[in-house]
Amino acid sequence: MLAFQHARRPAGEPSGEAQVTIEIPSPDWANEEIADALKVQPLTGAEIVAASLTGDWKDEVTESGTEWVERTRRERHVKRRQ
């Protein structure tokens, strides 16, 4: 059975999009085995915190939610007037 909970970018690698490839080790797997291996098993809030999976976006976000909404509204307003 394949178990995949989360992946971390290697130290020193820049942030951004990443492509993850899952290779099936044996072409003899039955469809049921493949489906079982690819099932998503959600974590509880406690499990997320225990695995240190919080705060990954803290360095990416430069504005608050309110600032984002206001900026987006302004941009749409300007776009409509053009």
Residue 36, C-beta contacts closer than 8 angstroms, at least 6 positions apart: 1
Q: Residue 9 in contact with residue 15, Cβ under 8 Å?
A: yes
Convert the pLDDT of each residue in 20-69 to its tens digit: 777 767 678 788 888 888 888 898 999 988 888 877 666 677 788 899 89
The pLDDT value given to residue 65: 85
Q: Is the pTM of this model over 0.85?
A: no
Give pLDDT tens digits for 62-72: 788 899 899 99
DSSP 67: H
pLDDT-derived band at 6, boundaries 50, 70, 90: low
Angle (CA) 28 33 34, round 5°: 85
Spell 34-67 as b/e; 16+ CB within 10 A means b: eeeeeeeeeeeeeeeeeeeeeeeeeeeeeeeeee
